[in-house]
Amino acid sequence: MNTARSVRVLAGYDGSLPSGAALDAAAVLLPSAQAWIAHFWTAPFADEAVRRQLRPRVTGRDELVAAIEREGAEEGERIAGTGCVLARAAGWAPEPVIERVYGGIGFAIAELAEKKAADVVVVGSRGLGGARAVLGSVSDVVAHYTPRPVLVIPYPLISDDRADLAAGPVLVGWDGSPGAQRAVRAAETLFAGRPVMLAAVTDEPVAPPAGHELERLPAKHRHFTPGRTVAEALAAHARRRHAAVIVVGSRGHDAPREILLGSTAMATLHHAHRPVLIVHDTTGDEPER
């Protein structure tokens, strides 16, 4: 990424309150960004209220389907336009992108991020837990399947966490792996000007990169999945240090295993309750610890 230009953001927006709140929070973390505000609508457009109004006005199924899809496209333009208004008010330079899909919105966002060569993808999350998290959300799919850094903004953010967005430091989970090294570089590039703190939850000897200090965190609770143990320690430390965002590296080579068993990256998404940046190491072959 070139630090001489604005950060290029691809932000998913569906018109909901959580997605609007994600735009607002991301604009604080990534000020003055160039942004694509992307809305994905599923064909055929399935709003029942619209269908009821159209049925008496058209003749035949084909004409009804065409009318429904026309309304879906226009609704998509309105939603993306609203997202651009919000993004512009928050200080971004936005451009709307409307994509017609037949399902798999998370995959569509990942593909669009590659097409646009986005520096970072922004998605909102309703903070699903338990069985609903195991089944996967759009934010989970995006985090797994795009090699681009993914910034996930949970909803809702409580007032203390929102206050930390403005000037809080960046907390990076560190284990010495290539993924952690990429996470540090991404944190320094995307959040330029903010202090970057490194923290490790491990009994193994690990050294920080040159120019950085490393804090070792105790694990209060030992869970069946090591990822959750690390995630909870990072989340607690982020609250104590008023971190604006947590950055974690992920090898991301085995998405089904991570969804079912929980990697450090995915566990952090589900337990941090504050913005999390997932940075993939696309060169490593070892399974994530």
| 209-246 pLDDT tens trace | 888 989 988 766 665 566 778 888 999 999 999 999 99
Q: What is the pLDDT of residue 146?
A: 86
β-pair partners for 245: 170
pLDDT band at residue 134 under the 50/70/90 scheme = very low
pLDDT surpassing 70 at residue 110: yes
* Spatial contact of 25 and 72, defined as CB atoms under 8 Å apart: no
Average pLDDT of span 174-192: 92
Q: Domain check: are 83 and 63 in the same one?
A: yes
Task: Give 11-39 pLDDT, tens digit per residue.
Answer: 999 999 999 999 999 999 999 999 999 99
Residue 132 has pLDDT above 50, yes or no: no
The tens digit of pLDDT for each residue in 148-168 reads: 999 999 999 999 999 999 999
pLDDT at 94 over 70: yes
Same domain as 104, residue 226: no
- Structural contact between residues 229 and 257, judged by C-beta atoms closer than 8 angstroms: no
In this structure, are 167 and 238 located in the same domain?
yes
Q: Would you state the pLDDT for residue 130? A: 39
Does pLDDT of 285 surpass 60?
Answer: no
User: What pLDDT shows up at residue 254?
Assistant: 52
Domain boundary among 125, 156, 187: 156
| 146 in any annotated domain | yes
Q: Residue 99 is encoded by which pair of tokens?
A: 């994509």
d(CA 137, CA 107): 11
- The three-state secondary structure class of 26 is helix
User: Which range marks the domain in which residue 188 is found?
Assistant: 157-289
Give the best-scoring range by mean pLDDT among 48-52, 88-92, 180-184, 215-219: 88-92
How are beta strands 8-12 and 34-42 bridged, if at all?
A: parallel
Residues 79 and 164 in one domain: no
The 3-state secondary structure of 169-231 reads: CEEEECCCCHHHHHHHHHHHHHCCCCCEEEEECCCCCCCCCCCCCEEECCCCCCCCCHHHHHH
| Neighbour tally for 287: CB within 10 Å | 11
Residue 2 lies in a domain: no
- 270: CATH: 3.40.50.620
Total domains present in the chain: 2
Share of the chain above pLDDT 90, in %: 48
Residue 1 inside a domain? The answer is no
CB of 98 within 8 A of CB of 41? yes
Nearest in space to 144 (alpha carbons), one of 36, 229, 259? 259
For residue 288, the 8-state DSSP code is P
